[in-house]
Amino acid sequence: MKRSLLKAGLVALCVLGLLLTAWCGVVAWCGVRSSVQPAEMAVIFGTAVTDQGVPKPALRDRLESGLDLWKEHHVRTLLVSGAVETENHQDEAEIMAHWLEAHGVPASDIIVDSQGNNTWLTALHVAEESPDGAVVVSQWFHIMRAEWALRHAGVNRVSGAYPPRFRIPELWYLFREAVALPVYALTKTLPSRDGAQ
C-alpha cells in the first residue's frame, strides 16, 4: 500500500514537472518570438538600480533597446516606468529618464512614471497615456506577461522588444514568470469608474 502511494506520488510529481516545463517553454517562446510593431509609445519597464543611481545591467539593456526603437522611428515617445526602491530610495523612472536624455533623447519625448510599482500598475498607466498601441520593452521572459497586462488594461495594439543578451539567472526569472502569469490572469481587474480597484 505504501509503495503504491509512493509510486502514485512520484508519478504525479513527474507529470506536474513536465507540465510546468512545457508551460515555461510557452512563456519563453512567446517572449523570444515577439516582434516590434510601430506604435506611438514604447514602455520601458523598470528594474533595479545601484545605490548611486546607476542602472544595473538588466535595466541598461532595456534602456538600450528602447533607445534603439526611438532612434529607428518605431516609436515617437518613451514611457519609463518604475518604482521608488524601498532600500536605497532611488527613483527608477527618473534615473531611466536621465539615462535616455544623456543618450540623446529630448525630455519632451520621455514620459516618467514613478508609480510603476509592478507590471499591472504600469499597464494601467500606459492605457491612460497610449490606448491605441504600445511596444513593451523588457527581458524576454517578461514579455508575455507584460503584453497580456497591457492588452487586459485596454491597450489595443501591443508588441514587444527585448535585449539580445542572455544571462543564466534569467532561467529562474522564467520560472517565476510562468507562475506569475496565471495568477495575473485570475486576479487582475480593471479599476471601477470611481477609481476603486
pLDDT grade for 131, boundaries at 50, 70 and 90: confident
Read off the pLDDT of residues 30-47 as tens digits, 9 standing for 90 and up.
Answer: 999 999 999 999 999 999
> What does pTM read for this prediction?
0.87
Q: Where are the domains of the chain?
A: 2-163+171-187
Taking a C-beta distance cutoff of 8 angstroms, is the pair 168, 145 a contact? no
Beta-carbon count within 10 A of 180 CB: 16
Q: How much is the pLDDT for 196?
A: 42
Given this structure, which CATH class describes domain 2-163+171-187?
alpha beta
Q: How much is the pLDDT for 140?
A: 96
Q: Is the pLDDT of residue 7 over 70?
A: no
Give me the sign of the Cα torsion angle 146, 92, 47, 114: negative
Q: Is the pLDDT of residue 60 over 90?
A: yes
Q: Is the pLDDT of residue 195 over 50?
A: no
Average pLDDT of the residues of the chain: 90
Average pLDDT on 163-189 reads 89
